[in-house]
Structures are given as structure tokens and as C-alpha cells.
Structure 1
Amino acid sequence: MAKYGIEQAMLGDDVTESERPVDRIVDLYPPYVKEGRRLLARIGYEMRCRSVYPGGKDNRHRVHLFGFETDLQATEVLFASLRLQMLEGADRLHRPAGEDARAYKRSWMLGFIREVTVRISAAQRTASAAAEEDSEAEGTSSRSVALVLADRTTVVEARLSDQCSPRLIDGGKILLAHVRRWDEPDSGETLALIDAASGQITSSVKRPESLAALDPAAKNSLTVNDAGTLVADVVGRNKILIRQIPSLRKVAEITTLMPPVDERGIGDPMTLTFFRSGDELLTLSGSRIEHWNARSGSRLSETIDARDLELGVGRPVRSHSPEGAPGPEFALNSPPHAGHAQITVYGDPVLYTIDLGTGEEDKARRVRLGRDVETAILDTSGRYAAAKTPGGMLELWSAATGRRPSRMVGPLGPLGSNDRFTGDGFTFSFTGRDGEFYVANGSSVRFQQLSDSSSFETYDFAANQYFVAATEDGKTLLRTLSGGGFGGGNGDRGRLDLIHLDPGLWKHHLCDVVGHDLTRDERLGLPSGLPEVICPA
């Protein structure tokens, strides 16, 4: 089936009117709907399709698939067979005494899904390599198999480009986002500034038509400098447009080195970050670091290939995650030191600092964290680090230069894993205020003060939230009410809601509505610990 899908892709590449991506809604039925949805999404990913879980009670048994027709057909055929095998295998299990039957079956099915993902991925790589050899021997295609598959993948992801993370600027007053009109799907996409209070677009510009779409999981397809005056908009696999805020006037165009593509035709997402000065930009394409003047688009230093520095020697080789999504081997962090780049290597618990002038590692600024750390970032002071560990957990570390790093808080999480969402719908960052860190995840927002690790505050919600973006201080959050992610997929189209974590503001509104202090009976239906006086006379 993998071979058939690749053959159809190569045939489609040779015709003048190429096949277009389509989408379809797949309804799933009990038993074990959650596990069925996960299986379908993972199979679809390996077959170059993409999936969205629509929100709302009426859609909880559905998966919205995007892909080319031949890939969607292959996905559905595989899913029908493998789901039956999964359910039958779970029923035949010998369950140890004392184990809950449903929980034990679910655990087994998650292992089944992981193994299926690995095997389909291996079959795709084998079929791709064989097709490449046949194509070269016969001279039947002008383009490589990997490039054709990459184009098909990015065309599919174009259907999901509105899921890139929006940005909140000007203290949460303005939303910066890619916007596409659902009632006019052929009208193209715009980059827009939206007034957060009214929802009105205050400025917009049409984005270039391009097949080189973004990986919807990439968090920095829109990157804004700290001053909120420039935005870097990734419009192609290796192309960035720099625009002025608020006019959205184009000030520069940057073409980076092309990110690498794997055997399945899936490329690493390009990553980028502004320097704190605001006018300099760092980009990472695979392992190659480039340094740019964001206002002119000119290079400021020579390209540095992190592989040449032999960082992370002996680290584990990165494979596909249990969720089915590949990831880049190197990660680029916002550099706390001028004239330097900071990177991590997947599976290596070390933060490396590279001097952009010499192209060499600054070993005096190397920070080594715990052995389980997969990737990490430093705060602006360079004294604290936030680290991601297996299972989507977060740890907060003391990382001051010249001192032995130590874990201060954690693990926290898992991130994006709750009763409705998996692997998404959270945001976290350092706020830039004396080691303060926030994480908005699940049903709470936590502010942790690392200068005093015993000091923290939490805001708890009655239900799990799907957080899309936050201001730098973490006090204003963007969330979806429908739960379908930005852009949605249900009747609400992922309707967005802005919430300010300001108890004083909440108190003011409450007192305006109630008109008096809470009575004893009114307090009975509220959580304990409320102040004795809320609305003074």
C-alpha cells in the first residue's frame, strides 16, 4: 500500500493538472472511540494526511482528515483493518488479577498504536527508497521521490495553515494572525492585525500564494520582536517576509538555506527567533544557523553548521515520537547573550552557546541539566532554565553560569494531555521578571517565581482549556471556546476568547453586576477561601 501511494504521487507529479487535496469527516463508533481516533490520526500522518479533532459534544466521535484522495483511501483501508485487529487483540488479553479491565485494554491499545506507527513509517521509507532507485534507473521523473512527497505533504498542510499560532501584542490588545475566510475558501489568506476587544481587523495584507506551507505544529511561523514593531512571517519552506507593525508594510525578504527533507518527504520546520535588540534575526534550517539584519534582509555573519561543531556526541538517535510526529534534531532558542546563538540537541541535556563571530562554541556558557532532559530554554537573565522531559513533562532549573545546575520545580504536566486534548492547547514561557515562569495547561495557569521556588500562584478553571497564545507576562490568554484549535472545525469555527487573569478586574465586574456584597447563601455555592468582603458598601 505504501508503494501504491508513492506510485500515485509520482504519476500525479507528471500530469499538467495535478491532483488537489481534499478533506473528509470520518465518524467513529464505540467501543474505544478515543483510541480509534488516535489510531486513525497516526495512520493518516504516516500516509501524508493531516487530521483535526473537531470540538463540541456533537463531534467527539469524529476526525476531520485532510489529504490527497489516494492517500485518504489508503488511510481508511488501513484503519478499517488495523482497528479490527486492535479491538480483537485487546479482547484476547490475559488480564492480571486486580487490574481494571478497561484501563488495561487501553494501555495495550496505546502500545499497539505506537507499534503500528513505527511499522508503517518503516514501510514508507522502504517504498520511498525503492521508488527512488526505480525512478533514477528508468529516468521517468524530473524530480526526486522525496521532493514530490514533500510537495504533497506541504500542499495538505496548506489546508491547515490557519492553525499556526497567532500572537498577542501590545499587552493583549491586538491579535496578529493568519486569516482565511471560511465562506470564501479560494480568496487566499491574509496576515491581519485584529482588535482583541471588538474582533475587527484593523490592518491586513494578502499573503503570497505558495505551495510551501508550514508545519502546523511549528510555534514560530509568526514571530514578533520584543518591541512589537516587526513580525517575521514564514511564507515558504525557506522564505520569510519581515513586516512593520502596525502598518504590515514589507521591509525585507529573507531566503534561508532549504530545510532538509526525510525519506517520507516530510521536512523539518524552519525555526527562527529575534534577538532582544529587535532588529536582528536568527534562523535554523536543519543544523545550519544563519544571522540576519531583519530590516534590510542582509546577512550579518557566516552560516554556521552545528553538525561541524560535533555537539551532543553520543546522544540517542531521534526517531518518530509515539504521537507519530517527527522533530528536528536541533532546536534554536532565543539567545540571552548578544552576538551568540543558543541551541539544544534532541536527547542531549546540554544548552550550547555558539559565538556568531567565530562560529565556535563558547564552552564557558555551556549548561548541563538532568539526564532525562530532551530540550530546554534559558530565561533572559541566563540564571534559570525550563526543560522538557519524556512524556511531555516540564522541569524548572537553576542554571547560573559557574554553578552546578539543579532542579528547582517539577516535573509539571503532562503538557497538552487531558480528557479532551492530546499534545496541544498549552503555552508557557519566562516572563522576563526576576525568574518568573508561567505555564497555561489543562485546567490551570501557574505562575512560578524561581527567585523563591516556594512562591507560586495558580488560576484554576472548572474545566480543561485549550490555550492558543499568551502575552509576554502570561496574564492575558487566548483560548478557543469550541476546543477545535485555532480555525476550529465545528460550527463555531474555533471561536476565540480572550481572558485577562486580573482578579481586581473580575471583582469590579462582579460587583457591578451583583450590586452588593455576597450574602451567606450566595457564598455557599462558591469555592472556599473567598475574602470576607468582596464588594464593599
Structure 2
Amino acid sequence: MSQAMLSKVRKLLAQAEDPACTPAESAAFTAKATELIARYGVDRALLAARDPATDPVGDRVVEVVAPYARDKAGLLAAVADPMRCRCVRRRHGSGFAMHLFGFASDLERVDVLFTSLLVQAAHGLAGTPVPPGEQPGAFRRSWLAGFAQVIGARLRAAEAQAASGAGEPGVALVLADRSDRVQRRLAEVYPRLRAAPRRRLAGTGFASGADAGRRADLGGPVVGTGTGPERGLGR
């Protein structure tokens, strides 16, 4: 991402993260930042189709630490997948090492947005009281699951909108080819990869977390409710 674009996106996300912002202001800042990130992703894909050296396939490892490491890893996956990146979760100490695969520009986009969304999630959890009698950890895990699900859906909508608005033929084929190349790279490194078992959450925070995901408007259509710093997510 160019320094000018990166600076603009980070400034918008910093404003969205500010606790003094109203939900409407935070939504506007985040929507604009995500629109720029999605448009940039399509532009870089089209450029790389003409000159592959400008945007090689690569990988990076992101450490996700406790508390709520698995839930943060779920948020990272929800951000990575719509941006045509793939991730493998590996146990690392009390947390996880997330091995991400993708084109350089997409990995950069994931990093910028995930960092901001961690801060926004921390603020959202801080402002959401745990219902009386409920175990705080269970509630917060289910809250983060709702938040991640809605964020993922909105990012998919933003990416689709950017692709359809590019105004160039063959965009869908270019993006599909990029996804295939990333998947092949992952398979080369992890030829015997297995899917993790589906998780069951007992907390009642899913709907509240989904509402927070909707308030962090990502510039796409509103979706319906489904069934900073790492230190910001308290126990």
C-alpha cells in the first residue's frame, strides 16, 4: 500500500477507534477506510495481472495471544478470507500462531484492518455489561463470535462492490486466479491440513457482538443477525 494511502487509511481507522466518537461517526470513518482498502485491493490485483513482480504471493505469521486467543484468531480469519488470504491456526504457547498466505498487498490490507478491529472490539466489549449470573468469559467469547461473523459478511460485500465497480473486463477472473494461487501455495506448505472441529459457545453475547459489528459499518449492505492492543480484551 502506498505511504499516502496507508497514512490516510490509518488516520480514518484511528478516528473510528476513538472512544469519544459516536457510533455514527465511527461507522462513517470505518466505512470510508474499508472502501479505500477494498478499492486498493482490486487496483493492485489488476496491476499484478499485467506485471506479476509488483505483487508476489507470500506468507506471514501473526501471533495471537491470550486472553481470548481463539476468538481473536477467529476475527483474523473473518478479515483474511474476504481479502483472498488463507490462514492456518497453530498452537503457540497460551495463544496461537496464525500462518497467513496471500498476495503481498492483501496481507498488508489484512494487517491494517485486523489491528484496528481488535481495538474496536475491545472498546465494544468494555461498553457491554455482562448479564447478571452469566460467566464473563463465556459471554465475551460469544460476543466476539457475533462481531467476527458480521464483520466478515460486510467485508465480503465491500470486496464484491469494489470488484463490480472497477469498470474493467475480466476482474472476476483475475481475482479468482489470485484465490487459486494462494490456495495452491497453502497446499504446498500444508499438504495434510485438516479442518478444525466446529466450536460450541455457551454464552449469550452473540447478538450483542453482531450488533457491534453492524455499528462498525464497513460500507456494505446491512446483514441480519445470525443464530490496539491485544491487552484491550480483558478477562
TM tier, shorter chain? 0.5 to 0.7
Q: Whole-Å Cα distance in 2 between the matches of residues 161 and 97 of structure 1?
A: 46
Q: Is residue 2:42 matched to residue 1:6? A: yes
Over residues 45-88 of structure 1, what are the superposed CA-to-partner deviations in whole Å (9 max), with x where a residue is unaligned?
11100000124x54842101011110000001110011111121
Q: What residue in structure 2 maps to residue 77 of structure 1?
A: 112
Is 1:116 aligned with 2:134? Answer: no
Q: List per-residue Cα deviations over 1:26-55 (Å, max 9, x = no partner).
A: 112333211111111121111100000124
What is the CA distance between 1:18 and its match in structure 2? 5.8
Contact 2:65 2:94 (8 Å CA) reproduced = no
Q: Note the alpha carbon deviations across 1:74-125, whole angstroms, 9 max, x for none.
A: 0011100111111211121132211111111111111000010010010011
Superposition map of 1:390-429 within 5 A: 416-417=197-198
CA–CA distance in 2 between the matches of 1:18 and 1:69?
9
User: In the alignment, which residue of structure 2 is the partner of 1:15?
Assistant: 51
Using the TM superposition, give the Cα deviation of residue 418 of structure 1 relative to its aligned residue in structure 2, in angstroms: 5.7
In 2, the alpha carbon distance for the partners of 1:15 and 1:61 equals 35
Where do 4+ consecutive residues of structure 1 move more than 6 Å?
none
Q: Given residue 161 of structure 1, which amino acid in structure 2 is its aligned partner?
A: A
- C-alpha distance in 2 between matches for 1:123 and 1:91: 27
Pick the aligned partner of 2:163 from 128, 131, 137: 128
2:140 corresponds to which of 85, 100, 105: 105
Pick one of 174, 177, 182 that aligns with 1:151: 177
8 Å CA contact retained: 1:128, 1:145: yes
Q: Is the 8 A contact 1:52 1:65 kept in 2?
A: yes
Larger RCO: 1 or 2 (CA < 8 Å, sep 6+): 2
1:30 corresponds, among 51, 61, 66, to 66
Spell out the pairing of 1:259-270 with structure 2 (5 A cutoff).
none
Whole-angstrom CA distance in 2 between matches of 1:16 and 1:26: 25
Matched residue SS, 2:90: coil
Structure 1 residue 20, shift from structure 2 partner: 2.0
- Shift in alpha-carbon separation, 1:16–1:126, aligned structure 2, 3 A: closer
Conserved? CA contact 2:47–2:54, under 8 Å: no
Deviation at 1:22, TM superposition (A): 0.6
Tell me, in whole angstroms, the C-alpha distance in 1 between the residues paired with 2:120 and 2:111.
14
Q: How many angstroms apart in 2 are the aligned matches of 1:60 and 1:81?
A: 20
2:123 matches 1:96: no
The aligned amino acid for 1:84 is V
More strand by share: 1
Greater fraction helix: 2
Question: SS of 1:115's equivalent?
Answer: helix
- For the structure 1 residues 107 and 58, does the alpha-carbon distance in structure 2 shift closer, same or farther, using more than 3 Å as the test? closer
Letter in 1 for 2:127: R
2:90 corresponds to 1:64: no
CA distance in 2, matches of 1:10, 1:122: 19
Q: Give the 3 Å change call, closer, same or farther, for CA 17–25 of structure 1 in structure 2.
A: closer
CA distance in structure 1 between the aligned counterparts of 2:192 and 2:198, rounded to whole angstroms: 18
Structure 2: gaps of 5 or more residues:
1-36, 201-235
Larger Rg: 1
Aligned Cα root-mean-square deviation (Å) = 2.3
Cα distance in 2 for residues equivalent to 1:83 and 1:119? 16
Superimposed CA distance per residue, residues 482-518 of structure 1 (whole angstroms, 9 cap, x where no aligned partner): xxxxxxxxxxxxxxxxxxxxxxxxxxxxxxxxxxxxx
Gaps of 5+ in 1: 137-143, 167-215, 218-414, 420-537
Listed one character per residue, the Cα deviations across residues 334-367 of structure 1 (whole Å, up to 9, x for unaligned) are xxxxxxxxxxxxxxxxxxxxxxxxxxxxxxxxxx
Q: Give the TM-score of the pair, scaled to structure 1.
A: 0.29
1:135 partner SS: coil
Please tell me whether the aligned partners of residues 53 and 60 of structure 1 are also in contact (alpha carbons under 8 angstroms). no
Give the letter for the 2:72 counterpart: G
Q: Distance in 2 between matches of 1:148 and 1:71?
A: 14
Q: Please, what TM-score do these two structures have when normalized by structure 2?
A: 0.63
| C-alpha separation in 1, matches of 2:73 and 2:181 | 23
Deviates more, 1:24-33 or 1:82-91: 24-33
Distance 1:59 1:47, change over 3 A: farther
Q: For residues 161 and 111 of structure 1, do their structure 2 counterparts lie closer, same or farther at Cα, with a shift above 3 Å needed?
A: same
Alignment partners' CA distance in 2, 1:91 and 1:7: 37
Sort the Cα spacing of 1:96 and 1:26 in 2 relative to 1 into closer, same or farther, 3 A: same
CA distance in 1, matches of 2:108, 2:148: 19
Identity rate, percent: 36
Correspondence 1:161 to 2:187: yes
Q: Distance in 1 between matches of 2:102 and 2:52?
A: 19
